Structure 1
Amino acid sequence: MFRAPHEDPLAAKDTSHSPASHVAIIMDGNGRWAKGRGKPRLYGHKMGARRVREVVEACPDHGVRYLTLYAFSTENWKRAPSEVAGLMALFRQFIRSETAELVAQGVRVRFIGDRGPLNPKLRRMMAGLEEATACNGALNLTVALNYGARDELSRAALRLAQDVAAGRVSADAVGADSLRPYLDTADLPDPDLVIRTSGESRVSNFLLWQSAYSEFEFTPVYWPDFGRAELGRILARFGSRERRFGAVLS
């Protein structure tokens, strides 16, 4: 079952050496991987898409119940129109080719981000995939598509302000956790571990609110080369970390 939005994400009794239940990945390096092989950037994105299935299949074996993938950011619209168009076509192709397998594997798929600017056909396909997998529970896969954390927080703050103005929420009751029910991830637990591939050491506007107490791993491996083995190594390192959440553990 999903944690209710108002529950404390740090309330687990002993999380110091627990396996990562929720892993979020910034899938980076497709373009550079392709360039290094004398190929166009879109070729790198196509090869990267193949890695998604491998990682999805590997997660349950490691006790991962939630996987969030950063597929397309609000800033990615600044890329060349041909690359953006190619990525959108790749997203549609992925949904067409993978829906049956995701259903068979018991994977529930959800999308976060602002769907408004996306092509109507893609939006319909996204909604169809969510509906087709809604009853699954072996793995909860969340795809961040046209997602940016600042945009998410702005949208959440607007909805909260509208509820306060309408009298549905008391202004006196607004506190540090008041935005949580308005976030795109309201019914998901916060990520235990955030991974970024390709050697870059930044979060690039990804899950800023949710990753406040996440552990981070920055691997030099480009996403098209990232698979079951690298995921296993990172999760093993995570399992040896002591997570204190600001407290002192005895």
Structure 2
Amino acid sequence: AEKRRGADASMVFAIVYVVLNPGLLLVDHIHFQYNGFLMGILLLSLAAIRRGEDLLGGFLFAVLLNFKHIFLYVAPLYFIYLLRRYCMGVGVPPQGGISSGKGTPYAKGVPRRCRICGLDIGNLAVLGVVVVSVFLASFGPFVAAGGFEEILAILGRMFPFEGRGLCHAYWAPNIWAFYNVADKALEIGLRKMRVPVRSSGKSMMGGLVQNIQHAVLPAITPPVTILLTLAAMAPILIDTWRRP
């Protein structure tokens, strides 16, 4: 009993320390638009999946995605996992019933439902209804107010490929910062060698949100970044498909 009370007290203190942490309050919750709260939803989703509650995990991730679309990068992994485990029953324990929503295969003696290409149509429909319902609750009022033009306007604001450029206003600490440095170094070096080089024009470090044309290296377009992202994710996606 004493150990249990001590563990409960430690858990309460840990929660209080995290919730009232000045760094999170000032930097994360204010400057970075409440990412701590959103990461909490992601952890809840992962915890649900860890417990075998795949449908709940999918629901929580759909809610998270509608709170902040930056978590879209996790969506391919969720899609592969839920498709293989919840809808196809691959890699799950031999006991339990798939109709329970926990992604487990049929118990002995329980008749199989309709399956097409290994997909449990019932589970696929349930998962689809859950995910679509979340998106309808989020975007439905906009459609009702202004039609699909409102949705297109929202998507344009969420994915401003045309106006923000590769690195936004300032360089984020990622591979494209090195790409920009390499382009600038090549431009300076070639000019010193009196090799004609087109001017990159606008400053890459001016602090303005704008598109920048590289002077030497090829321009990086949104489709290129999407393909590179998927290529980088391919190993884990393939492994999840094989062993969900």
After TM superposition, the score normalised by the length of structure 2 is 0.28
Structure (1 or 2) with the greater helix fraction: 2
Task: Say which one has the larger Rg.
Answer: 2
| Bigger strand fraction | 1
**What TM-score, normalized by structure 1, do the two folds share?**
0.28
